Structure 1
Amino acid sequence: MNVYDFDKTIYGGDSTADFYLFSLKRHKKILLLAPSLLGAFLKFYLFRKGSKTDFKQVMYRFLRNCDIDRDVKDFWAKNRAKIKQYYLKQQKYDDVIISASPEFLLEPICEILGIHYLMASRVDKYTGIYDGINCHGKEKVRRFYEMFPNGKIEEFYSDSYSDTPLAEIAEKAYIVTGEELTDWKFEKRN
């Protein structure tokens, strides 16, 4: 089976950021949350306090101002064309998507594309509260083996070296830049 990250890997952008901006255009009330989002951003990225999950839970408060099911459906109607062509040409029945983006956001596009296996961050679509931790880094490997205890990854694709834990368990791994695929460059260890 082949495993893919989602954002900037098979989707041309960051789906969460795109959905936030999409929602902001529809629901101006989200702007009232900007001070708390800025505070959480500074706390996590500048002062290195708290976890990425903590930061994202503050960010996801905007979901409380959305008509979430309609907004997600309309978002994918508008953004489906951002699925990369290289992926559509090589897609297989048993592909797996493992992403830090929220499950509720990726489930509809996976269904549209016929992708049967999705592991992503479990975020309540009405409150923005996580059920578990952000699906990132080593957590992606843990979640992969939770779903596929004896799973073997033939090929792995990502835009980011933060996914090295998954690349290390794949037979072959690729870095994705736009539509271009290059061999994963592993750090030499002494």
Structure 2
Amino acid sequence: MNVYDWDKTIYDGDSTFGFIRYLFCHYPKTLLNLPRIIFFGIGYGLQLVSKQSFKENLFHLFVYVKDMPLATKRFCESHLDHVKSFYQQKEDDVIISASPEFLIQEFGRLLHIQCIIASPVEQKTGHYMGLNCHGEEKVKRFYKRFPKGEIHEFYSDSLSDTLLAQLAKKAFLVKKEKVFDWPK
């Protein structure tokens, strides 16, 4: 199986922040969450608030959207052009991402990707239902899903995914549309 990070790897940009911008533009009531975002953003910048706590408070704006599944579907459909041309989907591909699982699952549905591992965020409230799927947590979640899983090829834009890269027979670093061997 091949395993891919999502944001800046397959998807050109950060899909989570693209989705937040989309919600601000299409659902103006979400702007009511700006003071909370600023407050917790400053706390995160000063290292007083964890990344997960900041993201959960950012995602609180979901409560202002009446039909989040529809908003998610519309965003994903309108942003399929962000999928990079190097990506050639195979049946057993696995996407593993720190972005909200419901968001990546919708992209996966549209792209016919069966296996998505991502951050468990409640779509209607923005609350985390587990840990942010980043760094070491990606490895734990991968092995929970595939106890004997072998990664043939791994692709990511970030060296923070080195732990997953080390599990793969071949690993690649993705920068824009270019794919390089993972640095040794």
Q: Provide TM-score, normalisation by structure 2.
A: 0.96
- In the other structure, the counterpart of 1:50 is 49
After superposing the two structures, state which structure 1 stretch, 25-34 or 94-103, moved more.
25-34
Equivalent position amino acid for 1:71 in 2: A
Distance in 2 separating the partners of 1:164 and 1:110: 24
Which runs of 5 or more structure 2 residues have no equivalent in the other structure? Answer: none
Distance in 2 separating the partners of 1:36 and 1:22: 18
Q: Kindly report the root-mean-square deviation, in angstroms, between the aligned alpha carbons of the 2 structures.
A: 1.0
- In the other structure, the counterpart of 2:126 is 128
Q: Where in structure 2 are the equivalents of 1:12-91 lying within 5 Å?
A: 12-44=12-44, 46-66=45-65, 67-88=67-88, 91=89
Sequence identity (%):
45
- In the other structure, the counterpart of 2:96 is 98
The Cα of 1:51 is off from its aligned counterpart by: 1.9
After superposing the two structures, state which structure 1 stretch, 140-149 or 104-113, moved more.
104-113
Deviations, residues 31-90 of structure 1 (Å, cap 9, x unaligned): 22112111111211x2212321111100000111112111111111210111111103xx
Q: Provide TM-score, normalisation by structure 1.
A: 0.93
The Cα of 1:92 is off from its aligned counterpart by: 1.3
- Asked if 1:167 is matched to 2:165, the reply is yes
Distance in 2 separating the partners of 1:112 and 1:37: 30
Query: Given the alignment, which residue of 117, 140, 143 partners 1:142?
Result: 140
Instruction: Flag as ranges the 4+ runs of structure 1 deviating above 2 A.
Output: none
Distance in 2 separating the partners of 1:185 and 1:103: 29
Residue aligned with 2:86, SS: helix
Distance in 1 separating the partners of 2:171 and 2:48: 32
Residue aligned with 2:144, SS: helix
Distance in 2 separating the partners of 1:167 and 1:42: 33
- In the other structure, the counterpart of 1:180 is 178
Residue aligned with 2:87, SS: helix
Which runs of 5 or more structure 1 residues have no equivalent in the other structure? Answer: none
- In the other structure, the counterpart of 2:115 is 117
Distance in 1 separating the partners of 2:73 and 2:155: 26
The Cα of 1:165 is off from its aligned counterpart by: 1.1
The Cα of 1:106 is off from its aligned counterpart by: 1.1
Residue aligned with 1:173, SS: strand
